[in-house]
Amino acid sequence: MTQLQSVMVLCDGIRRTHIWFKILEGDNSGIKISIARYDSDYSESFQNQIESLEEGEVYLLDLEYHGSSEWELLDFKRRYQ
């Protein structure tokens, strides 16, 4: 089952192949998710945006959930407090 979600997250770690986020609010609060740091489906512009993510920053992610802990990043915005 595919679901679209917008979630507030903390960028919790940038690794060689994945970026880790901790969900900050809602029913999934506290859950950690990861997205691929590099993907052949990413446009060049989107890949550049992915590379601009910063550990420790809060973002609003638009995600598509495919079940079985498979998340696809559709878009994101830095959340300024």
Chain segment 60-76, per-residue pLDDT in tens: 999 887 776 777 888 88
Structure confidence at residue 28 as a pLDDT band (50, 70, 90): confident
Chain segment 31-63, per-residue pLDDT in tens: 998 889 999 999 999 999 999 999 999 999 998
Q: Helices marked H in the chain — which ranges?
A: 44-51
Structural domain count of the chain: 1
The contacts of residue 30 (CB under 8 Å, 6+ apart) are 22, 23
Which pLDDT belongs to residue 1? 63
The CATH code of the domain that includes 15 is 2.40.50
Tokens of 55: 């550990």
Q: Which domain holds residue 45?
A: 3-78
Structure confidence at residue 30 as a pLDDT band (50, 70, 90): very high
The contacts of residue 7 (CB under 8 Å, 6+ apart) are 23, 24, 25, 26, 28, 60, 61, 63
Q: To which residue do tokens 């590099």 refer?
A: 38
